[in-house]
């Protein structure tokens, strides 16, 4: 049973000045709040007196009611004095996330239950029921309970109001067209929205204010907007909404009331305060320790501790803490990356020591519908025990009811998120625990949190945080966690599970690489140093059977050798691990076969290219003597050619006719007598005939050499088909020589 420690009372709702309306007082009293919290008692009167406020308050201190109530009061008074028209917006509440906007809207509806709403929870969608077939459904619907812990069902319709409201958020909740259609039909005097969707609505509804604008230009009127609230204002800037906020504020009138609310204030907010607020009043609500006088930024009912672990024993500590502190309770486990959440959610389902725990997973890469179903399953009041594995997507603003234990498996990359994570437990005076796992090389993080006014204490035993104990000097120290779950046994179970499903193998590698990269990107790099991270133990924690090829690992040769020994000891061929899903496995095998074909083709091409290159190298590397011999032959042929030309010129000079072998052959064919015989019978000059024959022989020899050269060149080039060429002159010369012989 969790002990609830009430927040310090700061006055009755009925004593607020200016006085609250009966409608508001009736609702807060029906919800069980008879007294205001400090942040409410300070903020509500100032805002109602037309003061801009900048509020920094600890998590779970009641900030939501601190701005919802004054917004409603301002609008109720405006409707009495000068009623707003249907298309006029009187107040805007901006939230950084869809989930937080839905939560704020559910609180607003407690006070104005009669107004039509454009919000349709996913619970009304028949498909949402099967979104969590494996216990891992998701979250975009409104929480089943509000920030007060009460039911989110509308209040009884005993007092009616003319005020209307609407929720403008992205995702699957509603489309932009649906939001504009609802606004056109019913209007929305109070709007709760995320920056992106609100900017779209204003842009479409107000138009560009140019001549010839469409009919939509007059759909939305913000000239009467009197109040703007930025909830989790620092987060709005961190998520990159600075330009969207500037565009939104540019549409709104200068004379308005503005309130900034957050658990942590950053330097970036200073610029927003200077540009968007006029003489704001700063309100800071903190916790002061009665004995020491120390001031902290976390609730007194929340115990925050640090557990010193090693990378290889981290998983064992998680299961031990869930079993010892989380039995029958709602637990949130924060991890650094979405890939880790996916892997550990699936991996824990294969571990015998964790199978009886109802695990849920939630991260920013899931669809809005899936996140909605997961969130609803986790906050379901009918279940006392549930564990949500998540990232920082569920770290801020969300009022998740009945969370008693927060485990930070990985410290946040952004140290500002630490207090927000812890603040999911110990809300509204409820007792809670929050622990963070740190290695010995990271223990300086505790001192850093003290500087940030977050009271983190070392956890010394299992009695830590229990009512009536301080440091808990129990006989059995906290190191008895290993008796609950043995890390070696956990590693063996995970390896066996990975061998049975390649999907788990893929997820383990992605989770490992994403964690290493997030570690290198940590803002406190002087505490979280990669060179001090035990990568071998980390590989063992994730139960990798195949170590990824990462530059962070390659840099250290000693680590490379140790990981090679680790893989050799496992002796597992990762390429033979198959998917359980037959369709995915078939696709994988098809990819492997295709890659093998492509590799074989590439090998053949490479071999052919190599052969060609080698042949070219051999051609270039011929012996010098061979080159000299070829050169000599070329010279001899040139000399013969020159002699032949000279002989022909000599014959012409003597007035003698030169007959080629071809002309002789044609003449002989006409006479039916051999050319040589005709020459002898006709009494031709024997010396001339001999000269002609010699020249013809030389010419024929020259042609044969040319053909031989061409044939050699073609053979050296290789690959091309041999072309047959026939030299008629040479053939005639050969024939003539044979006849004369």
Spatial CA neighbour of 295 closest among 306, 284, 310, 279: 284
Does residue 646 fall inside a structural domain? yes
- Give the residue-averaged pLDDT of 529-556: 93
Q: Please indicate, yes or no, whether residues 87 and 106 belong to a single structural domain of this protein.
A: yes
Residue 465 has pLDDT above 70, yes or no: no
Q: Annotate 16-61 with three-state secondary structure.
A: CCCCCCHHHHHHHHHCCCCECCHHHHHHHHHHHCCCCEEEEECCCC
What is the pLDDT confidence band of residue 706, given thresholds at 50, 70 and 90? confident
Cβ neighbours of residue 635 under 8 Å, at least 6 residues apart? none
pLDDT for 699 equals: 64
Mean pLDDT, all residues of the chain: 80
Does residue 290 fall inside a structural domain? no
- Give the residue-averaged pLDDT of 330-335: 96
CB atoms within 10 A of CB 272: 22
pLDDT for 92 equals: 97
What is the pLDDT confidence band of residue 237, given thresholds at 50, 70 and 90? confident
Q: Please indicate, yes or no, whether residues 466 and 529 belong to a single structural domain of this protein.
A: no
pLDDT for 676 equals: 47
Q: Please indicate, yes or no, whether residues 379 and 346 belong to a single structural domain of this protein.
A: yes
Among 285, 306, 323, the domain boundary falls at: 285
Strands of the sheet containing 403-408, edge to edge, are 359-362, 386-390, 330-334, 403-408, 432-438, 302-308, 456-458
pLDDT for 420 equals: 86
The C-alpha atoms of residue 514 and residue 442 are separated, in whole angstroms, by 19
In degrees to the nearest 10, what's the CA dihedral of 31, 37, 39, 40? 40
Q: Please indicate, yes or no, whether residues 191 and 319 belong to a single structural domain of this protein.
A: no
Residue 683 has pLDDT above 60, yes or no: no
pLDDT for 172 equals: 60
Residue 133 has pLDDT above 80, yes or no: no
Q: What is the full DSSP assignment across 279-292?
A: SPEEEEE-EE-TTT
Does residue 609 fall inside a structural domain? yes
- 306 pairs with which residues across the strands? 436, 458
Strand intervals (E) in 456-533? 456-458
Residue 651 has pLDDT above 90, yes or no: no
- The Cβ-side half-sphere exposure at 511, using a 13 Å CA radius, reads 26
Higher pLDDT, 7 or 98: 98
Of 6-10, 408-412, 571-575, 590-594, least confident by mean pLDDT is 6-10
H-helix or E-strand spanning residue 330 = strand 330-334
Q: Which two tokens stand for residue 144?
A: 């089943």
* Inter-axis angle of helices 314-325 and 487-500, nearest 10: 110
Q: Are 312 and 541 in contact (CB under 8 A)?
A: yes
Of 36-45, 356-365, 698-707, least confident by mean pLDDT is 698-707
Among 488, 513, 528, the domain boundary falls at: 488
Number of domains in the chain: 5
User: Mind listing the pLDDT tens digit for each residue in 202-229?
Assistant: 998 886 444 455 434 568 999 999 999 9
Q: Please indicate, yes or no, whether residues 615 and 629 belong to a single structural domain of this protein.
A: no
pLDDT for 306 equals: 95
The C-alpha atoms of residue 531 and residue 330 are separated, in whole angstroms, by 36
User: How far lies 147's CA from each of 126, 259, 605, in Å?
Assistant: 27, 19, 69
Q: Please indicate, yes or no, whether residues 659 and 735 belong to a single structural domain of this protein.
A: yes
Q: Are 504 and 351 in contact (CB under 8 A)?
A: no
In degrees to the nearest 10, what's the CA dihedral of 724, 729, 733, 736? 110
Does residue 582 fall inside a structural domain? no
What is the length of the chain? Answer: 741
* Inter-axis angle of helices 63-81 and 22-30, nearest 10: 150
564 lies in which domain range? 497-576
User: Mind listing the pLDDT tens digit for each residue in 547-570?
Assistant: 999 999 998 899 999 999 999 999
- Give the residue-averaged pLDDT of 606-613: 90
State the Cα angle at 281 between 278 and 283, rounded to 5°. 145
What is the pLDDT confidence band of residue 484, given thresholds at 50, 70 and 90? very low
- Give the residue-averaged pLDDT of 79-105: 91
Q: Which two tokens stand for residue 199?
A: 């900017």
What is the pLDDT confidence band of residue 137, given thresholds at 50, 70 and 90? very low
Cβ neighbours of residue 321 under 8 Å, at least 6 residues apart? 307, 405, 407, 435, 481
User: Mind listing the pLDDT tens digit for each residue in 264-273?
Assistant: 766 566 767 7
Q: Are 472 and 484 in contact (CB under 8 A)?
A: no
Does residue 267 fall inside a structural domain? yes
Rg over alpha carbons for the chain, rounded to the nearest Å, is: 44
Does residue 397 fall inside a structural domain? yes
Q: Please indicate, yes or no, whether residues 209 and 269 belong to a single structural domain of this protein.
A: yes
Does residue 372 fall inside a structural domain? yes
Is the N-terminal amide bond of 641 cis, ω within 30° of 0?
no
The C-alpha atoms of residue 481 and residue 325 are separated, in whole angstroms, by 12
* End-to-end Cα separation, the chain, in angstroms: 129
User: Mind listing the pLDDT tens digit for each residue in 358-404?
Assistant: 999 999 899 888 888 898 899 888 888 999 999 998 877 676 778 88
Q: Which two tokens stand for residue 364?
A: 């920013």
Residue 691 has pLDDT above 80, yes or no: no
pLDDT for 726 equals: 45
Q: Which residues of 429-447 are buried (b: 16+ CB within 10 A; e: fewer)?
A: bbbbbbbbbbbeebeebbe
Q: Annotate 359-371 with three-state secondary structure.
A: EEEECCCCCHHHH
Chain centroid to Cα 417, Å, comes to 19
Among 285, 312, 329, the domain boundary falls at: 285
Q: Please indicate, yes or no, whether residues 522 and 508 belong to a single structural domain of this protein.
A: yes
Q: Please indicate, yes or no, whether residues 481 and 515 belong to a single structural domain of this protein.
A: no
The C-alpha atoms of residue 520 and residue 81 are separated, in whole angstroms, by 58
The C-alpha atoms of residue 364 and residue 149 are separated, in whole angstroms, by 25
What is the pLDDT confidence band of residue 675, given thresholds at 50, 70 and 90? very low
Q: Please indicate, yes or no, whether residues 175 and 256 belong to a single structural domain of this protein.
A: yes
Q: Are 436 and 410 in contact (CB under 8 A)?
A: no
Chain centroid to Cα 61, Å, comes to 33
Does residue 216 fall inside a structural domain? yes
Q: Please indicate, yes or no, whether residues 551 and 537 belong to a single structural domain of this protein.
A: yes
Q: What is the share, in percent, of the chain residues with pLDDT greater than 90?
A: 45
Spatial CA neighbour of 487 closest among 546, 533, 538, 559: 538
Q: What is the share, in percent, of the chain residues with pLDDT greater than 70?
A: 74
Residue 535 has pLDDT above 60, yes or no: yes
- 261 pairs with which residues across the strands? 55, 231
pLDDT for 438 equals: 96
The C-alpha atoms of residue 316 and residue 44 are separated, in whole angstroms, by 47
Q: Please indicate, yes or no, whether residues 243 and 205 belong to a single structural domain of this protein.
A: yes
- Give the residue-averaged pLDDT of 734-740: 46
């Amino acid at each position: 049973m969790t002990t609830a420690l009430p927040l310090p009372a700061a006055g009755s709702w009925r004593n607020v000045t200016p006085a609250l309306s009966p409608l508001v007082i009736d609702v807060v009293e029906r919800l069980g709040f008879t007294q205001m919290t400090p942040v409410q008692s300070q903020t509500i009167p100032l805002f109602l007196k037309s003061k801009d406020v900048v509020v920094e308050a600890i998590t779970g201190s009641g900030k939501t009611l601190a701005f919802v109530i004054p917004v409603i009061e301002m609008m109720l008074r405006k409707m009495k004095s000068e009623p707003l028209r249907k298309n006029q917006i009187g107040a805007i509440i901006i939230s950084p996330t869809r989930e937080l906007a839905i939560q704020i809207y559910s609180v607003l509806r407690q006070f104005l239950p009669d107004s039509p709403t454009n919000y349709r929870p996913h619970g009304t969608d028949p498909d949402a029921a099967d979104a969590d077939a494996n216990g891992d459904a998701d979250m975009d619907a409104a929480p089943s309970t509000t920030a007060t812990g009460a039911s989110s069902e509308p209040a009884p319709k005993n007092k009616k109001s003319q005020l209307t409201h609407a929720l403008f958020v992205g995702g699957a909740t509603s489309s932009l067209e649906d939001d504009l259609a609802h606004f056109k039909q019913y209007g929305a005097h109070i709007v709760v929205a995320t920056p992106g969707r609100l900017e779209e609505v204003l842009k479409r509804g107000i138009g560009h204010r140019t001549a010839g604008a469409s009919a939509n230009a007059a759909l939305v009127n913000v000239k009467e907007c009197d109040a703007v609230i930025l909830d989790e204002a620092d987060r709005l800037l961190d998520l990159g909404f600075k330009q969207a906020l500037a565009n939104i504020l540019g549409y709104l009138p200068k004379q308005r009331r503005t309130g900034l609310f957050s658990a942590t204030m950053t330097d970036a907010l200073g610029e927003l305060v200077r540009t968007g607020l006029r003489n704001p009043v700063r309100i800071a609500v903190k916790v002061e320790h009665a004995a020491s006088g120390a001031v902290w930024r976390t609730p007194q009912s929340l115990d925050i501790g640090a557990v010193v672990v090693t990378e290889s024993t981290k998983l064992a500590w998680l299961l031990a803490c869930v079993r010892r502190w989380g039995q029958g309770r709602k637990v949130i486990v924060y991890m650094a990356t979405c890939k880790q959440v996916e892997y550990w959610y699936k991996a824990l389902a294969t571990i015998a020591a964790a199978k009886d725990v109802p695990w849920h997973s939630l991260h920013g890469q899931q669809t809005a519908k899936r996140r909605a179903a997961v969130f609803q399953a986790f906050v379901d009041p009918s279940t006392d025990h549930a564990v949500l594995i998540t990232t920082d997507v569920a770290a801020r603003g969300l009022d998740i009811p009945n969370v008693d234990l927060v485990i930070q498996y990985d410290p946040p990359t952004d140290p500002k998120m630490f207090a927000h994570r812890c603040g999911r437990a110990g809300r509204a005076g409820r007792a809670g625990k929050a622990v963070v796992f740190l290695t010995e090389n990271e223990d300086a993080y505790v001192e850093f949190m003290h500087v940030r006014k977050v009271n983190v204490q070392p956890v010394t035993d299992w009695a830590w945080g229990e009512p009536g104990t301080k440091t808990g000097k129990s006989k059995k120290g906290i190191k008895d966690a290993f008796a609950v779950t043995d890390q070696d046994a956990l590693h063996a179970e995970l390896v066996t599970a990975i061998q049975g499903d390649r999907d788990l193998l893929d997820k383990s590698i992605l989770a490992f690489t994403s964690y290493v990269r997030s570690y290198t990107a940590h803002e406190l790099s002087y505490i979280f140093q990669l060179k001090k991270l035990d990568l071998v133990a980390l590989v063992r924690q994730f139960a990798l059977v195949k170590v990824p090829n990462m530059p962070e690992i390659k840099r250290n040769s000693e680590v490379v050798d140790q990981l090679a020994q680790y893989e050799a000891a496992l002796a597992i061929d990762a390429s033979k691990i198959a998917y359980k899903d037959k369709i995915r496995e078939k696709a994988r095998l098809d990819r492997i076969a295709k890659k093998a074909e492509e590799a074989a083709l590439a090998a053949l091409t490479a071999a052919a290219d190599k052969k060609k290159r080698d042949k070219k190298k051999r051609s270039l590397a011929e012996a010098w003597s061979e080159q000299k011999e070829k050169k000599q032959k070329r010279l001899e042929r040139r000399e013969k050619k020159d002699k032949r030309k000279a002989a022909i010129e000599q014959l012409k000079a003597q007035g003698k006719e030169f007959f080629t072998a071809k002309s002789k052959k044609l003449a002989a064919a006409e006479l039916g007598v051999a050319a040589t015989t005709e020459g002898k019978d006709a009494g031709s000059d024997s010396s001339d005939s001999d000269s002609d024959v010699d020249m013809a022989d030389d010419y024929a020899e020259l042609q044969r050499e040319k053909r031989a050269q061409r044939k050699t060149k073609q053979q050296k080039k290789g690959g091309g088909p041999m072309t047959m060429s026939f030299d008629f002159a040479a053939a005639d010369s050969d024939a003539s020589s044979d006849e004369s012989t």
